[in-house]
Protein backbone atom coordinates (compact mmCIF):
# COMPACT_ATOMS: atom_id res chain seq x y z
CA UNK A 1 0.00 0.00 0.00
CA UNK A 2 1.27 3.42 -0.91
CA UNK A 3 0.78 5.34 2.32
CA UNK A 4 2.76 8.31 1.10
CA UNK A 5 0.32 8.80 -1.76
CA UNK A 6 -2.65 8.70 0.59
CA UNK A 7 -0.98 11.17 2.95
CA UNK A 8 -0.53 13.47 0.02
CA UNK A 9 -4.18 13.08 -1.02
CA UNK A 10 -5.41 14.06 2.45
CA UNK A 11 -2.83 16.76 3.15
CA UNK A 12 -4.71 19.69 4.76
CA UNK A 13 -2.23 22.31 3.61
CA UNK A 14 -2.55 21.14 -0.02
CA UNK A 15 -6.30 21.52 0.41
CA UNK A 16 -5.82 25.00 1.77
CA UNK A 17 -3.45 26.12 -0.99
CA UNK A 18 -5.49 24.60 -3.82
CA UNK A 19 -8.65 25.97 -2.27
CA UNK A 20 -7.37 29.53 -2.08
CA UNK A 21 -6.16 29.36 -5.67
CA UNK A 22 -9.46 27.92 -6.83
CA UNK A 23 -11.53 30.55 -5.03
CA UNK A 24 -9.41 33.26 -6.63
CA UNK A 25 -9.93 31.70 -10.05
CA UNK A 26 -13.67 31.26 -9.58
CA UNK A 27 -14.08 34.81 -8.23
CA UNK A 28 -12.35 36.14 -11.35
CA UNK A 29 -14.59 33.94 -13.49
CA UNK A 30 -17.65 35.25 -11.69
CA UNK A 31 -16.58 38.88 -12.10
CA UNK A 32 -15.76 38.33 -15.81
CA UNK A 33 -19.02 36.65 -16.66
CA UNK A 34 -21.43 38.54 -14.44
CA UNK A 35 -20.08 41.88 -15.61
CA UNK A 36 -19.67 40.78 -19.22
CA UNK A 37 -15.92 41.39 -19.33
CA UNK A 38 -15.68 38.44 -21.70
CA UNK A 39 -17.76 38.17 -24.85
CA UNK A 40 -19.15 34.67 -24.86
CA UNK A 41 -21.84 32.88 -22.90
CA UNK A 42 -20.72 29.57 -24.40
CA UNK A 43 -17.34 28.64 -25.85
CA UNK A 44 -18.92 26.16 -28.28
CA UNK A 45 -17.00 23.05 -29.27
CA UNK A 46 -18.22 20.12 -31.33
CA UNK A 47 -18.48 16.96 -29.15
CA UNK A 48 -15.66 15.15 -30.98
CA UNK A 49 -13.31 18.13 -30.68
CA UNK A 50 -14.14 18.41 -27.00
CA UNK A 51 -13.39 14.72 -26.47
CA UNK A 52 -10.12 15.11 -28.34
CA UNK A 53 -9.16 18.08 -26.17
CA UNK A 54 -9.69 16.15 -22.97
CA UNK A 55 -7.91 13.04 -24.26
CA UNK A 56 -4.91 15.23 -25.05
CA UNK A 57 -5.16 17.01 -21.74
CA UNK A 58 -5.28 13.77 -19.78
CA UNK A 59 -1.91 12.78 -21.16
CA UNK A 60 -0.10 16.06 -21.79
CA UNK A 61 -2.00 18.75 -19.90
CA UNK A 62 -0.43 20.64 -16.99
CA UNK A 63 -2.25 19.64 -13.81
CA UNK A 64 -2.03 23.22 -12.58
CA UNK A 65 -4.34 24.15 -15.46
CA UNK A 66 -6.96 21.51 -14.71
CA UNK A 67 -9.53 23.61 -12.86
CA UNK A 68 -9.03 26.56 -15.19
CA UNK A 69 -9.56 24.39 -18.27
CA UNK A 70 -12.70 22.81 -16.83
CA UNK A 71 -14.07 26.29 -16.18
CA UNK A 72 -13.11 27.50 -19.67
CA UNK A 73 -14.85 24.55 -21.27
CA UNK A 74 -18.24 25.15 -19.68
CA UNK A 75 -21.39 27.05 -20.54
CA UNK A 76 -21.15 30.25 -18.53
CA UNK A 77 -24.35 30.32 -16.53
CA UNK A 78 -23.46 33.63 -14.81
CA UNK A 79 -23.06 35.52 -18.10
CA UNK A 80 -26.04 37.84 -18.72
CA UNK A 81 -26.20 36.42 -22.27
CA UNK A 82 -26.89 32.97 -20.87
CA UNK A 83 -30.65 32.80 -21.40
CA UNK A 84 -31.06 29.15 -22.29
CA UNK A 85 -32.00 26.31 -20.01
CA UNK A 86 -33.68 26.73 -16.64
CA UNK A 87 -30.73 26.33 -14.35
CA UNK A 88 -29.93 28.98 -11.84
CA UNK A 89 -26.69 30.93 -11.74
CA UNK A 90 -26.05 29.83 -8.16
CA UNK A 91 -25.65 32.50 -5.50
CA UNK A 92 -21.88 32.28 -4.82
CA UNK A 93 -22.44 31.53 -1.14
CA UNK A 94 -24.11 28.26 -2.16
CA UNK A 95 -20.93 27.19 -3.94
CA UNK A 96 -19.38 27.39 -0.49
CA UNK A 97 -22.16 25.43 1.16
CA UNK A 98 -21.68 22.93 -1.67
CA UNK A 99 -18.06 22.63 -0.63
CA UNK A 100 -19.03 22.09 3.01
CA UNK A 101 -21.37 19.29 1.96
CA UNK A 102 -18.67 17.70 -0.19
CA UNK A 103 -15.97 17.76 2.45
CA UNK A 104 -18.06 16.78 5.46
CA UNK A 105 -20.01 14.22 3.39
CA UNK A 106 -22.70 13.56 5.99
CA UNK A 107 -25.02 11.25 4.12
CA UNK A 108 -28.21 12.52 5.81
CA UNK A 109 -30.23 9.30 5.41
CA UNK A 110 -29.96 8.41 9.08
CA UNK A 111 -29.88 10.98 11.84
CA UNK A 112 -26.52 9.84 13.15
CA UNK A 113 -25.01 10.60 9.76
CA UNK A 114 -26.59 14.00 9.34
CA UNK A 115 -27.54 15.64 12.58
CA UNK A 116 -27.30 19.24 11.41
CA UNK A 117 -28.58 18.61 7.88
CA UNK A 118 -31.68 16.71 9.08
CA UNK A 119 -32.61 19.33 11.66
CA UNK A 120 -31.97 22.14 9.19
CA UNK A 121 -34.02 20.36 6.53
CA UNK A 122 -37.02 20.23 8.86
CA UNK A 123 -36.84 24.00 9.42
CA UNK A 124 -36.52 24.71 5.69
CA UNK A 125 -39.44 22.41 4.85
CA UNK A 126 -41.64 24.07 7.48
CA UNK A 127 -40.94 27.49 5.95
CA UNK A 128 -41.81 26.32 2.43
CA UNK A 129 -44.99 24.52 3.57
CA UNK A 130 -46.11 27.66 5.36
CA UNK A 131 -45.43 29.72 2.22
CA UNK A 132 -47.51 27.30 0.11
CA UNK A 133 -50.38 27.89 2.51
CA UNK A 134 -50.35 24.43 4.09
CA UNK A 135 -51.23 23.95 7.75
CA UNK A 136 -49.16 22.16 10.40
CA UNK A 137 -50.22 18.71 9.18
CA UNK A 138 -47.92 19.24 6.23
CA UNK A 139 -44.34 18.15 5.79
CA UNK A 140 -41.91 16.95 3.16
CA UNK A 141 -38.23 16.57 2.42
CA UNK A 142 -35.48 17.54 0.04
CA UNK A 143 -34.49 15.18 -2.72
CA UNK A 144 -32.22 14.97 -5.76
CA UNK A 145 -34.05 16.76 -8.55
CA UNK A 146 -37.51 17.41 -9.89
CA UNK A 147 -37.52 14.20 -11.91
CA UNK A 148 -37.01 12.01 -8.87
CA UNK A 149 -39.39 14.17 -6.81
CA UNK A 150 -42.20 13.77 -9.37
CA UNK A 151 -41.71 10.00 -9.39
CA UNK A 152 -41.73 9.94 -5.59
CA UNK A 153 -44.91 12.04 -5.45
CA UNK A 154 -46.69 9.69 -7.85
CA UNK A 155 -45.60 6.70 -5.75
CA UNK A 156 -47.04 8.44 -2.70
CA UNK A 157 -50.25 9.15 -4.61
CA UNK A 158 -50.62 5.51 -5.64
CA UNK A 159 -50.13 4.38 -2.07
CA UNK A 160 -52.52 6.96 -0.64
CA UNK A 161 -55.40 6.66 -3.09
CA UNK A 162 -55.63 2.99 -4.02
CA UNK A 163 -56.99 0.29 -1.78
CA UNK A 164 -54.81 -2.40 -3.35
CA UNK A 165 -51.40 -3.03 -1.78
CA UNK A 166 -49.31 -2.52 -4.89
CA UNK A 167 -46.07 -2.00 -3.00
CA UNK A 168 -46.21 -5.63 -1.89
CA UNK A 169 -48.28 -7.33 -4.57
CA UNK A 170 -47.36 -5.40 -7.70
CA UNK A 171 -49.72 -3.97 -10.30
CA UNK A 172 -52.72 -6.24 -10.79
CA UNK A 173 -54.96 -3.81 -12.68
CA UNK A 174 -54.55 -1.04 -15.20
CA UNK A 175 -53.85 2.22 -13.38
CA UNK A 176 -53.62 5.70 -14.82
CA UNK A 177 -52.75 9.33 -14.25
CA UNK A 178 -53.96 12.49 -15.99
CA UNK A 179 -51.52 15.10 -17.14
CA UNK A 180 -51.31 17.93 -19.67
CA UNK A 181 -49.97 16.99 -23.09
CA UNK A 182 -47.41 19.76 -22.48
CA UNK A 183 -46.08 18.42 -19.16
CA UNK A 184 -42.38 17.79 -18.61
CA UNK A 185 -41.31 14.44 -20.09
CA UNK A 186 -40.23 13.20 -16.66
CA UNK A 187 -43.89 12.76 -15.61
CA UNK A 188 -44.41 10.42 -18.56
CA UNK A 189 -41.20 8.60 -17.64
CA UNK A 190 -42.26 8.26 -13.99
CA UNK A 191 -45.60 6.75 -15.03
CA UNK A 192 -43.85 4.22 -17.29
CA UNK A 193 -41.41 3.30 -14.53
CA UNK A 194 -44.46 2.62 -12.34
CA UNK A 195 -45.74 0.18 -14.94
CA UNK A 196 -48.67 2.30 -16.14
CA UNK A 197 -47.63 1.99 -19.77
CA UNK A 198 -48.64 4.32 -22.56
CA UNK A 199 -52.35 3.56 -22.01
CA UNK A 200 -52.09 4.63 -18.36
CA UNK A 201 -50.89 8.14 -19.21
CA UNK A 202 -54.02 10.10 -20.02
CA UNK A 203 -52.72 13.16 -21.85
CA UNK A 204 -55.10 16.09 -21.68
CA UNK A 205 -54.87 18.35 -24.75
CA UNK A 206 -54.08 22.02 -24.18
CA UNK A 207 -56.08 25.11 -25.08
CA UNK A 208 -54.75 27.51 -27.66
CA UNK A 209 -53.05 29.32 -24.76
CA UNK A 210 -51.22 26.04 -24.02
CA UNK A 211 -52.90 25.42 -20.65
CA UNK A 212 -54.36 22.03 -19.82
CA UNK A 213 -57.90 22.10 -21.22
CA UNK A 214 -59.77 21.45 -17.98
CA UNK A 215 -63.11 21.36 -19.85
CA UNK A 216 -62.04 17.93 -21.11
CA UNK A 217 -61.22 16.38 -17.74
CA UNK A 218 -64.63 14.84 -17.08
CA UNK A 219 -64.83 13.29 -20.52
CA UNK A 220 -61.27 11.93 -20.42
CA UNK A 221 -61.85 10.47 -16.97
CA UNK A 222 -65.04 8.77 -18.12
CA UNK A 223 -63.38 7.38 -21.26
CA UNK A 224 -60.53 5.96 -19.20
CA UNK A 225 -62.93 4.41 -16.72
CA UNK A 226 -64.85 2.72 -19.53
CA UNK A 227 -61.59 1.18 -20.70
CA UNK A 228 -61.06 -0.21 -17.20
CA UNK A 229 -58.34 2.28 -16.26
CA UNK A 230 -58.34 3.34 -12.64
CA UNK A 231 -57.05 6.91 -12.40
CA UNK A 232 -55.41 7.81 -9.11
CA UNK A 233 -53.72 11.15 -9.77
CA UNK A 234 -53.73 14.32 -11.83
CA UNK A 235 -50.65 16.48 -12.37
CA UNK A 236 -50.71 20.25 -12.92
CA UNK A 237 -47.70 22.01 -14.45
CA UNK A 238 -46.54 25.23 -12.83
CA UNK A 239 -45.47 26.08 -15.43
CA UNK A 240 -44.95 23.71 -18.35
CA UNK A 241 -41.27 23.69 -19.30
CA UNK A 242 -41.49 24.33 -23.04
CA UNK A 243 -43.85 27.32 -22.89
CA UNK A 244 -43.66 28.65 -19.32
CA UNK A 245 -47.47 28.58 -19.21
CA UNK A 246 -49.21 27.66 -15.93
CA UNK A 247 -52.10 25.23 -15.73
CA UNK A 248 -55.23 26.36 -13.90
CA UNK A 249 -54.42 24.79 -10.54
CA UNK A 250 -57.73 25.81 -8.97
CA UNK A 251 -59.79 24.05 -11.65
CA UNK A 252 -57.60 20.95 -11.47
CA UNK A 253 -57.86 20.80 -7.69
CA UNK A 254 -61.68 20.96 -7.82
CA UNK A 255 -61.69 18.12 -10.33
CA UNK A 256 -59.33 16.03 -8.18
CA UNK A 257 -61.45 16.59 -5.11
CA UNK A 258 -64.65 15.66 -6.88
CA UNK A 259 -63.16 12.38 -8.10
CA UNK A 260 -61.16 11.49 -4.98
CA UNK A 261 -57.84 11.44 -6.76
CA UNK A 262 -54.47 12.88 -5.83
CA UNK A 263 -53.58 16.37 -7.02
CA UNK A 264 -49.88 16.86 -7.66
CA UNK A 265 -48.28 20.15 -8.73
CA UNK A 266 -45.08 19.97 -10.74
CA UNK A 267 -43.70 23.35 -9.73
CA UNK A 268 -40.09 22.40 -10.46
CA UNK A 269 -39.64 25.71 -12.25
CA UNK A 270 -42.36 28.06 -11.02
CA UNK A 271 -43.22 26.69 -7.59
CA UNK A 272 -40.81 29.30 -6.25
CA UNK A 273 -43.49 31.84 -7.22
CA UNK A 274 -44.95 31.29 -3.74
CA UNK A 275 -42.23 33.69 -2.56
CA UNK A 276 -43.09 36.47 -5.04
CA UNK A 277 -45.66 38.98 -3.85
CA UNK A 278 -46.17 40.14 -7.42
CA UNK A 279 -46.38 36.71 -9.09
CA UNK A 280 -47.88 34.51 -6.39
CA UNK A 281 -51.11 34.55 -8.42
CA UNK A 282 -49.45 32.30 -11.05
CA UNK A 283 -49.66 29.39 -8.60
CA UNK A 284 -53.12 30.14 -7.22
CA UNK A 285 -54.63 26.88 -6.01
CA UNK A 286 -51.26 25.31 -5.12
CA UNK A 287 -52.39 25.23 -1.47
CA UNK A 288 -54.96 22.58 -2.43
CA UNK A 289 -52.35 20.22 -3.88
CA UNK A 290 -51.66 16.95 -2.10
CA UNK A 291 -48.04 17.29 -3.13
CA UNK A 292 -45.82 19.97 -4.66
CA UNK A 293 -42.37 19.87 -6.26
CA UNK A 294 -40.08 22.94 -6.20
CA UNK A 295 -36.53 22.91 -7.55
CA UNK A 296 -33.93 24.90 -5.62
CA UNK A 297 -31.57 24.82 -8.59
CA UNK A 298 -33.96 26.55 -10.96
CA UNK A 299 -35.55 29.74 -9.64
CA UNK A 300 -33.98 29.71 -6.17
CA UNK A 301 -30.31 30.41 -6.85
CA UNK A 302 -28.93 27.08 -5.66
CA UNK A 303 -26.56 24.56 -7.23
CA UNK A 304 -28.00 21.35 -8.71
CA UNK A 305 -29.51 19.15 -7.52
CA UNK A 306 -31.82 20.12 -4.72
CA UNK A 307 -35.60 19.80 -4.81
CA UNK A 308 -38.26 20.23 -2.17
CA UNK A 309 -41.13 17.73 -2.22
CA UNK A 310 -43.95 18.93 0.02
CA UNK A 311 -47.02 17.07 1.21
CA UNK A 312 -50.25 18.57 2.48
CA UNK A 313 -50.51 15.65 4.85
CA UNK A 314 -47.32 14.41 6.46
CA UNK A 315 -48.58 10.82 6.68
CA UNK A 316 -48.12 10.48 2.93
CA UNK A 317 -44.54 11.72 3.03
CA UNK A 318 -43.89 8.96 5.46
CA UNK A 319 -45.67 5.96 3.99
CA UNK A 320 -44.47 5.96 0.38
CA UNK A 321 -41.74 3.39 0.86
CA UNK A 322 -43.04 1.60 3.95
CA UNK A 323 -43.81 -2.10 3.65
CA UNK A 324 -47.00 -1.88 5.63
CA UNK A 325 -49.93 -0.46 3.71
CA UNK A 326 -51.66 0.90 6.77
CA UNK A 327 -48.71 2.62 8.38
CA UNK A 328 -49.82 5.63 10.38
CA UNK A 329 -47.97 8.30 12.26
CA UNK A 330 -48.44 8.21 15.96
CA UNK A 331 -50.86 10.98 16.80
CA UNK A 332 -49.73 14.47 15.81
CA UNK A 333 -46.11 13.55 16.35
CA UNK A 334 -43.67 14.05 13.50
CA UNK A 335 -42.39 10.61 14.30
CA UNK A 336 -38.89 9.84 13.18
CA UNK A 337 -38.57 12.99 11.07
CA UNK A 338 -34.84 13.00 11.69
CA UNK A 339 -34.14 9.84 9.68
CA UNK A 340 -34.84 11.36 6.28
CA UNK A 341 -33.78 8.25 4.34
CA UNK A 342 -37.02 6.52 5.28
CA UNK A 343 -38.93 9.05 3.22
CA UNK A 344 -36.65 9.64 0.26
CA UNK A 345 -35.91 7.54 -2.79
CA UNK A 346 -32.19 8.09 -2.20
CA UNK A 347 -30.28 6.33 0.50
CA UNK A 348 -27.22 8.58 0.78
CA UNK A 349 -28.16 12.18 0.08
CA UNK A 350 -25.92 15.22 0.15
CA UNK A 351 -26.36 17.96 2.76
CA UNK A 352 -28.56 19.96 0.40
CA UNK A 353 -30.59 21.63 3.15
CA UNK A 354 -27.65 23.86 4.03
CA UNK A 355 -28.00 25.78 0.72
CA UNK A 356 -31.60 26.72 1.54
CA UNK A 357 -30.91 27.48 5.17
CA UNK A 358 -27.86 29.62 4.42
CA UNK A 359 -29.71 31.76 1.86
CA UNK A 360 -32.62 32.19 4.29
CA UNK A 361 -30.37 32.96 7.25
CA UNK A 362 -28.12 35.41 5.39
CA UNK A 363 -30.60 37.17 3.12
CA UNK A 364 -34.08 36.25 4.35
CA UNK A 365 -36.91 34.92 2.19
CA UNK A 366 -37.02 38.32 0.42
CA UNK A 367 -34.11 37.06 -1.65
CA UNK A 368 -36.39 34.53 -3.36
CA UNK A 369 -39.06 37.17 -3.91
CA UNK A 370 -36.45 39.50 -5.46
CA UNK A 371 -35.09 36.78 -7.74
CA UNK A 372 -38.38 35.34 -9.01
CA UNK A 373 -39.97 38.78 -9.40
CA UNK A 374 -37.08 40.29 -11.34
CA UNK A 375 -36.74 37.25 -13.64
CA UNK A 376 -40.48 37.10 -14.43
CA UNK A 377 -40.43 40.87 -15.03
CA UNK A 378 -37.77 40.33 -17.68
CA UNK A 379 -39.97 37.80 -19.45
CA UNK A 380 -42.56 40.56 -19.84
CA UNK A 381 -39.89 43.04 -20.95
CA UNK A 382 -38.67 40.66 -23.64
CA UNK A 383 -42.18 40.05 -24.89
CA UNK A 384 -42.69 43.85 -25.25
CA UNK A 385 -39.47 44.08 -27.25
CA UNK A 386 -40.69 41.33 -29.58
CA UNK A 387 -44.03 43.04 -30.04
CA UNK A 388 -42.21 46.21 -31.06
CA UNK A 389 -40.25 44.42 -33.79
CA UNK A 390 -41.97 44.00 -37.18
CA UNK A 391 -40.29 40.70 -38.12
CA UNK A 392 -40.51 38.91 -34.79
CA UNK A 393 -43.42 36.95 -33.42
CA UNK A 394 -44.29 35.58 -29.99
CA UNK A 395 -45.60 32.03 -29.69
CA UNK A 396 -47.65 33.04 -26.64
CA UNK A 397 -47.93 35.90 -24.24
CA UNK A 398 -45.49 34.78 -21.53
CA UNK A 399 -46.59 34.11 -17.93
CA UNK A 400 -43.08 33.76 -16.56
CA UNK A 401 -39.41 34.14 -17.55
CA UNK A 402 -39.76 31.56 -20.35
CA UNK A 403 -40.49 33.13 -23.75
CA UNK A 404 -40.89 31.37 -27.12
CA UNK A 405 -40.58 33.49 -30.24
CA UNK A 406 -39.48 33.32 -33.85
CA UNK A 407 -38.03 35.43 -36.59
CA UNK A 408 -40.44 35.85 -39.51
CA UNK A 409 -38.76 36.94 -42.72
CA UNK A 410 -41.57 38.23 -44.95
CA UNK A 411 -42.42 36.04 -47.93
CA UNK A 412 -41.32 32.70 -46.47
CA UNK A 413 -43.74 29.82 -45.84
CA UNK A 414 -43.98 27.87 -42.57
CA UNK A 415 -41.52 25.21 -43.65
CA UNK A 416 -38.90 27.74 -44.73
CA UNK A 417 -39.43 29.77 -41.58
CA UNK A 418 -38.95 26.65 -39.48
CA UNK A 419 -35.71 25.94 -41.29
CA UNK A 420 -34.57 29.55 -40.92
CA UNK A 421 -35.25 29.61 -37.18
CA UNK A 422 -33.35 26.36 -36.64
CA UNK A 423 -30.43 27.79 -38.58
CA UNK A 424 -30.45 31.05 -36.63
CA UNK A 425 -30.40 29.16 -33.31
CA UNK A 426 -27.57 26.98 -34.60
CA UNK A 427 -25.59 30.03 -35.76
CA UNK A 428 -26.04 31.66 -32.33
CA UNK A 429 -24.78 28.50 -30.62
CA UNK A 430 -21.67 28.26 -32.78
CA UNK A 431 -20.95 31.96 -32.38
CA UNK A 432 -21.31 31.73 -28.60
CA UNK A 433 -22.05 35.36 -27.73
CA UNK A 434 -25.56 34.34 -26.63
CA UNK A 435 -26.90 31.05 -25.42
CA UNK A 436 -30.56 30.36 -26.12
CA UNK A 437 -32.51 27.16 -26.87
CA UNK A 438 -35.42 26.14 -29.10
CA UNK A 439 -38.72 24.29 -29.10
CA UNK A 440 -41.41 23.21 -31.53
CA UNK A 441 -45.06 24.00 -30.75
CA UNK A 442 -47.86 22.76 -33.01
CA UNK A 443 -45.38 22.16 -35.82
CA UNK A 444 -43.89 25.65 -35.62
CA UNK A 445 -40.24 26.07 -34.78
CA UNK A 446 -39.49 28.67 -32.09
CA UNK A 447 -36.44 30.02 -30.39
CA UNK A 448 -36.81 29.98 -26.64
CA UNK A 449 -35.24 32.00 -23.88
CA UNK A 450 -35.40 31.64 -20.13
CA UNK A 451 -34.09 34.63 -18.21
CA UNK A 452 -32.36 32.98 -15.25
CA UNK A 453 -29.83 35.65 -14.38
CA UNK A 454 -30.96 38.77 -12.50
CA UNK A 455 -28.17 40.65 -14.31
CA UNK A 456 -29.71 40.03 -17.73
CA UNK A 457 -31.18 43.41 -18.65
CA UNK A 458 -33.21 44.95 -21.46
CA UNK A 459 -30.08 46.04 -23.30
CA UNK A 460 -28.82 42.43 -23.52
CA UNK A 461 -32.16 41.21 -24.83
CA UNK A 462 -32.21 43.98 -27.46
CA UNK A 463 -28.67 42.98 -28.47
CA UNK A 464 -29.90 39.43 -28.93
CA UNK A 465 -32.67 40.57 -31.29
CA UNK A 466 -30.20 42.70 -33.25
CA UNK A 467 -27.88 39.75 -33.56
CA UNK A 468 -30.69 37.49 -34.75
CA UNK A 469 -31.48 39.98 -37.53
CA UNK A 470 -27.86 39.91 -38.66
CA UNK A 471 -27.62 36.10 -38.49
CA UNK A 472 -30.82 35.84 -40.47
CA UNK A 473 -29.50 38.14 -43.22
CA UNK A 474 -26.30 36.10 -43.40
CA UNK A 475 -28.18 32.82 -43.64
CA UNK A 476 -30.59 34.08 -46.30
CA UNK A 477 -27.87 35.71 -48.39
CA UNK A 478 -25.85 32.48 -48.32
CA UNK A 479 -28.69 31.00 -50.34
CA UNK A 480 -31.19 29.13 -48.23
Ligand X SMILES: *Cc1c(COP(=O)(O)O)cnc(C)c1O
Q: Which stretch binds ligand X (CB under 6 A): 59-67, 266-274, 311-319, 449-457?
A: 266-274
Assess 295 for contact with ligand X (CB under 6 A): yes
Residue 399: CB partners within 8 Å, gap ≥ 6?
239, 244, 245, 246, 282, 379
Omega before 305 cis (within 30°)? yes
Residue 234: CB partners within 8 Å, gap ≥ 6?
177, 178, 179, 217, 252, 255, 256, 261, 262, 263, 264
Assess 138 for contact with ligand X (CB under 6 A): no
Assess 309 for contact with ligand X (CB under 6 A): no
Query: Closest CB to ligand X among 372 and 420?
Result: 372
Query: Are 308 and 266 in contact, with CB atoms under 8 Å apart?
Result: no
Query: Closest CB to ligand X among 145 and 285?
Result: 145
Assess 145 for contact with ligand X (CB under 6 A): yes
Assess 114 for contact with ligand X (CB under 6 A): no
Query: Which residue from 345, 401, 313 is spatially nearest to 136, judged by alpha carbons?
Result: 313
Nearest residue by C-beta to ligand X? 146
Binding test (CB under 6 A) with ligand X, winner from 159, 184, 316, 448: 184
Shortest distance, position 266 Cβ to ligand X, whole Å:
5
Continuous H helices in 209-324: 217-226, 249-258, 296-299, 314-319
Q: Say how many CA atoms lie within 13 Å of 31 toward its Cβ.
A: 6
Assess 306 for contact with ligand X (CB under 6 A): no
Shortest distance, position 272 Cβ to ligand X, whole Å:
11
Strands 201-204 and 230-237: unpaired
Total site size for ligand X, rule CB under 6 A: 14
Query: Closest CB to ligand X among 440 and 469?
Result: 440
* DSSP-assigned letters across all residues of 376-417: HHHHHHHHHHHHT-TTEEESS--SSSEEEEEE--TT--HHHH
Assess 237 for contact with ligand X (CB under 6 A): yes
Contact flags string 69-98 toward ligand X, x per CB under 6 A? -----------------x------------
Assess 266 for contact with ligand X (CB under 6 A): yes
SS3 content of the chain, % helix, strand, coil (to 5): 50, 15, 35
* DSSP-assigned letters across all residues of 141-195: EEES-HHHHHHHHHHHHHHHH-SS-HHHH---S-EEEEEETTS-HHHHHHHHHTT
Q: Which stretch binds ligand X (CB under 6 A): 44-52, 73-81, 139-147, 381-389?
A: 139-147
Query: Closest CB to ligand X among 304 and 394?
Result: 304
Assess 147 for contact with ligand X (CB under 6 A): yes
Assess 186 for contact with ligand X (CB under 6 A): yes
Q: Which stretch binds ligand X (CB under 6 A): 17-25, 144-152, 252-260, 367-375?
A: 144-152
Query: Closest CB to ligand X among 267 and 432?
Result: 267
The contact set with ligand X (CB under 6 A) reads: 86, 145-147, 184, 186, 237, 241, 266, 268-269, 295, 305, 307
Amino acid sequence: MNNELLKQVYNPSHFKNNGHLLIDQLATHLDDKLHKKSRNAIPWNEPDQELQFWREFFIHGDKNDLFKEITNHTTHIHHPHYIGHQVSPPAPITALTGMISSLLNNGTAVYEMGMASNAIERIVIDIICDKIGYNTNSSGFLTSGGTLANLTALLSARKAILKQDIWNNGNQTQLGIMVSAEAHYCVDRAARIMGLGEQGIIKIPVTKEFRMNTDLLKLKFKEAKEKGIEIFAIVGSAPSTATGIFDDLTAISSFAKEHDIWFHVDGAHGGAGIFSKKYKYTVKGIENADSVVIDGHKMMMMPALTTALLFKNEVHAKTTFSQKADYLLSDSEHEDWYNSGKRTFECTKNMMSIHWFTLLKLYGEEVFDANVTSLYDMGAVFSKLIEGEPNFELALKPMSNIVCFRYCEPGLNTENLNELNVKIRQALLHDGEFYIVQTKLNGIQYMRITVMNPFTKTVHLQQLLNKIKIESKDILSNGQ
